[in-house]
């Protein structure tokens, strides 16, 4: 299923997008109550929801798609330097923290605040007077379904609810200056997400093409098979000491081709458009202003 969170005549809803008819079927609980939000769907499980019999399907053109999880319950987990060629370009760029290895031996994990999330077609706010090193990072994001602590690699995929796209927008100068990644990656609007959440039964995340364009110029092109630490390893690592909760999001890291990787760097400017496509999920587009 391709799940979406949408606004229709000012009312938020959760539904299933049918790509062929381009209509959205609103979701209800099995006993006919409307579903308030995506987190409820994830917590209750797909077996507890059903397309509404009372409400008609809505043409996609009539809705605004929000991020699938517009306000996560807590910070978004993110993984740094998880594609070898990106780790190398980042080490060369001079924006990395000197204390970390160029290509890490263990997953590098940081977080972004939930309030940084915006949806498809929303605007990334250029942080005027704060940064002139705004960068994009195309990433496959994993959404946790079943909670767990100490999840073993072999069991990890059974904890996944589905997948979406995240743009891990970053102020590189803040990332460099403050010796950690949280501040420069958590500014308002720095986490475009969506446009949909594809359920785990529909997608094998082990070999998906990831591409990113800035103003129609292809900047990033890779495949998730090149991840240094795969999804089971990431889930096992994060859940070792932290109980993962339904609705938790793990952005798995970005491939080579970020703005900081060019010499000279090619950072985002006002008026730019960033488009990210991940095979089997869709296309996330945001302008910068």
E strand or H helix at 249: strand 249-251
- Token pair, residue 119, equals 């949806």
Least distance CB 237 / Mg ion (angstroms): 16
Q: Which C-beta is closer to Mg ion: that of 96 or that of 137?
A: 137
Least distance CB 32 / Mg ion (angstroms): 41
Give residue 61's Cα distance to chain centre.
Answer: 23
- Token pair, residue 241, equals 């000491």
* Residue carrying structure tokens 């602590």: 149
Least distance CB 84 / Mg ion (angstroms): 15
Exposure class string for 170-203: b at 16+ Cβ within 10 A, else e: bbbbbbbeeeebeebbbbebbbbbbbbbbbbeeb
Least distance CB 144 / Mg ion (angstroms): 18
Least distance CB 230 / Mg ion (angstroms): 16
Euclidean distance between CA atoms 102 and 247, whole angstroms: 31
- Token pair, residue 256, equals 């080579």
Q: Which C-beta is closer to Mg ion: that of 3 or that of 166?
A: 166
E strand or H helix at 218: strand 217-223
Which residue lies nearest Mg ion, judged by its C-beta?
168
Q: Which C-beta is closer to Mg ion: that of 120 or that of 137?
A: 137
- For residues 231 and 62, the answer to whether their CB atoms sit within 8 Å is no
Q: Which C-beta is closer to Mg ion: that of 199 or that of 286?
A: 286
Least distance CB 112 / Mg ion (angstroms): 9
Q: Which C-beta is closer to Mg ion: that of 122 or that of 137?
A: 137
Site for Mg ion in 219-258 (CB under 5 A): 254
Compute φ and ψ for 120, nearest 5 degrees. Answer: -60, 135
Q: Which C-beta is closer to Mg ion: that of 111 or that of 215?
A: 111
Instruction: Rule CB under 5 A: choose which of 122, 168, 173, 248 binds Mg ion.
Output: 168
Least distance CB 253 / Mg ion (angstroms): 6
Give the binding-site size for Mg ion (rule: CB under 5 A): 3
Site for Mg ion in 174-213 (CB under 5 A): none
Site for Mg ion in 136-165 (CB under 5 A): 137
Q: Which C-beta is closer to Mg ion: that of 189 or that of 254?
A: 254
**3-state class of 66 per DSSP?**
strand
Q: Which C-beta is closer to Mg ion: that of 116 or that of 254?
A: 254
Euclidean distance between CA atoms 239 and 277, whole angstroms: 28
Euclidean distance between CA atoms 154 and 25, whole angstroms: 35
Least distance CB 56 / Mg ion (angstroms): 40
Question: Which x/- pattern, by CB under 5 A, does the window 31-50 give for Mg ion?
Answer: --------------------
- Token pair, residue 172, equals 């590189």
By CB under 5 A, is residue 96 in contact with Mg ion? Answer: no
Compute φ and ψ for 144, nearest 5 degrees. Answer: -75, 140
- For residues 268 and 286, the answer to whether their CB atoms sit within 8 Å is no
Residues at the site binding Mg ion, with contacts judged by CB under 5 A? 137, 168, 254
């Amino acid at each position: 299923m391709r799940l979406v969170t949408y606004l229709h005549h000012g009312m938020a809803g959760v539904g299933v997008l049918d790509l062929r008819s381009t209509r959205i079927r609103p979701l209800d609980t099995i006993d006919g109550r409307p579903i308030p939000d995506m987190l409820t769907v994830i917590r209750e499980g797909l077996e507890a929801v059903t397309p509404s019999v009372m409400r008609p399907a809505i043409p996609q053109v009539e809705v605004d798609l929000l991020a699938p999880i517009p306000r996560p319950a807590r910070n978004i987990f993110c993984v740094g330097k998880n594609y070898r060629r990106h780790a190398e370009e980042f080490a060369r760029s001079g924006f990395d923290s000197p204390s970390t290895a160029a290509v890490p031996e263990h997953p590098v994990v940081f977080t972004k605040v939930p309030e940084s999330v915006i949806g498809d077609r929303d605007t990334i706010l250029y942080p005027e007077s704060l940064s002139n090193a705004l960068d994009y990072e195309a990433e496959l994001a994993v959404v946790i379904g079943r909670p767990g602590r100490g999840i073993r690699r072999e069991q990890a995929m059974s904890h996944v609810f589905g997948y979406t796209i995240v743009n891990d927008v970053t102020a590189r100068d803040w990332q460099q200056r403050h010796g950690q990644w949280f501040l420069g990656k958590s500014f308002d609007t720095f986490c475009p997400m969506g446009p949909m959440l594809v359920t785990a039964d529909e997608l094998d995340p082990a070999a998906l093409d990831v591409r990113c364009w800035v103003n129609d110029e292809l900047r990033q092109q890779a495949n998730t098979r090149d991840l240094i630490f795969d999804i089971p390893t990431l889930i096992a690592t994060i859940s070792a000491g932290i109980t993962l909760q339904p609705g938790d999001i793990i952005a798995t890291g970005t491939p080579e081709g970020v703005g900081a990787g060019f010499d000279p760097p090619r950072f985002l400017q006002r008026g730019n458009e960033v488009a990210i496509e991940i095979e089997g999920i869709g296309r996330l587009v945001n302008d910068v202003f």
